Amino acid sequence: MPGVHDENAVTDPPAGAGPCASPHWRDEVCRRAAEVPEITAFPGVDALLRAFHALAAEHPDLVRPSRIGTSRLGEPLECFTVGDAAHAPAGPPGPQHLVVGGVHPNEPIGACTSLHLARLLCEDDDLRARLGATWHVVPCVDPDGARLNEGWFDGPFDRGTYARHFYRPAPREQVEWSFPFSYKGAYFDQTIPETFGLMRLIDAVRPRLLVSLHNGEMGGVYYYLSRTLPGLVEALHAVPAELGLPLERGEAEDPLAQVWADAVYGMADMRAHYDHLEALGLDAVAAVGGTSSADHAAQYGTLSVVAELPYWSHPAAADTSGSGRRYADVLTAKAEGLRADGALLESLLARAEPMLDAASPYVRASRAFVPMLGHVAEHEAARAGLPAADREASVAEVFSAEDLVRCFRLRYGGMLVRALAGPVAAGTAPAALRRLHAEAAEVYERWQDEAAQLEGTRLLPIAQLVGVQLGSTLAAAFALVDEAGLAPGGGGPA
Ligand SMILES: [Zn+2]
């Protein structure tokens, strides 16, 4: 999910994160996670919304569709309110839960999860009653971005196909990271319409639970929580174990995140990132943009949960044994890899720049991400110089450091190729741009070939990935029922 970096602080977890007796709902959550039926493709925007409207037509008393906004390209942003009080005239009473898919449009596992969850809530009266909440489900909050990923949603689900059709908006155009933010020298208020729609919904329903549906790419399962509750961490570990999915063991995606348990982190905090960058002498104002949905919802005491799932796993990503290499050297090699790839892409982009059209989302994304490779390289080089980096790296850390270089060149190289391909396909590219496109495509093919040589990658079944998001959502909802003392039979666990 997030961005920026340094050594993870291993912190005292908040109350409730420690060991406790198994929660009474743990086995049910694991069972429901394992019951997700086979899924062979990710739905495109139209198919996803058709499925939700069909569900609403099937359960008119339980599902209320509404519109929460409009995308920049004019798509309605839809919300489906699910629950026995969905049609209450003065707004549904009791706890409100909010589940949002497509916050990053290259992360469509949540589209399947949102549909499966809504269907489950409609079809299982007993579950719905025991959870005792009204659910607001936004299946796809960034339809414009999702459509630009649809080229890989039907598979084949290899990394090459994914990267060739990958689109991720520039950070300031991401729904998740464009909530208003003001801290020290940073001030961000260029909130995009999609984020405004979600922000209004958060402010209207003041959710008790917010599940922002993200996913990663390669490695293992991990989570971000805004706080934790008795039994929740145990359930978050039990669900992937039940499904045979590994926990993430390598470099944390957000190296600043507080570690509360294996693969369970405190929610990313932009203020902490700002302070960290400032302390390293880097330009925090330039690097920090907006904040997250979880940060915005924190004012309502909301429990925010993010389950990050990979599409692929690799044995090395779960290997915590020593690699025989110094961690500082691993970071230095990572920085060198990112610096070299970044310089190559920057050169291509700079030469193409006078001929590019900012109306293209690929151009805007390339302008944001291509320089980012160099910035991350600078940051990793700074981390390599810290005393904490003078230790042996694990095999998993080596793998994830190397894989980040692979991931970035495949993702952002691919988007630059698509940025240059636009005018070529439209028949408007000057000869110089056509030549640059050919040059970029040749480099990119080489990177694709190198990445394809990585052996041992395992494609994970989509249904299992959906199962983890479903299981973690249900676990959080059950834990909130316990916390509120609303469990059947007078408040305590049965
Ligand atoms: Zn994400």
pLDDT in tens, 361-394: 999 999 999 999 999 999 899 999 999 999 999 9
Ligand 1 center to 432 CA (angstroms): 36
| Percentage of residues in the chain having pLDDT higher than 70 | 94
Q: List, in sequence order, the alpha helices (H) in 35-108.
A: 45-58
pLDDT of the residue at 399? 95
Task: Give the residue from 364, 304, 464 showing the smallest Cα distance to 148.
Answer: 364
The predicted-structure confidence for 8-38, as pLDDT tens digits, reads as follows 444 444 544 444 568 899 999 999 999 999 9
Greatest Cα pair distance, the chain, in angstroms, is 75
Ligand 1 center to 325 CA (angstroms): 30
Ligand 1 center to 217 CA (angstroms): 10
* pLDDT, average across residues 326-344: 98
pLDDT of the residue at 22? 80
pLDDT of the residue at 21? 61
> Are the beta carbons of 211 and 473 closer than 8 angstroms?
yes
Ligand 1 center to 290 CA (angstroms): 14
| Percentage of residues in the chain having pLDDT higher than 90 | 86
> Are the beta carbons of 87 and 142 closer than 8 angstroms?
no
The predicted-structure confidence for 242-272, as pLDDT tens digits, reads as follows 999 999 887 777 778 899 999 999 998 999 9
Ligand 1 center to 4 CA (angstroms): 13
Ligand 1 center to 368 CA (angstroms): 16
Residues 353, 331: Cα–Cα separation, whole Å: 31
Ligand 1 center to 108 CA (angstroms): 10
Domains of the chain and any CATH numbers: 26-314+460-484 (3.40.630.10), 323-452 (1.20.120)
pLDDT at residue 7 tops 50: no
Q: What is the average pLDDT score of the chain?
A: 92
pLDDT of the residue at 252? 78
Ligand 1 center to 149 CA (angstroms): 14
pLDDT bracket for residue 494 (50, 70, 90): very low
Ligand 1 center to 1 CA (angstroms): 4
pLDDT of the residue at 123? 98
pLDDT bracket for residue 281 (50, 70, 90): confident
* pLDDT, average across residues 36-56: 98
* pLDDT, average across residues 157-161: 95
Ligand 1 center to 106 CA (angstroms): 8
pLDDT of the residue at 20? 53
pLDDT of the residue at 489? 38
* pLDDT, average across residues 420-437: 97
> Are the beta carbons of 106 and 166 closer than 8 angstroms?
yes
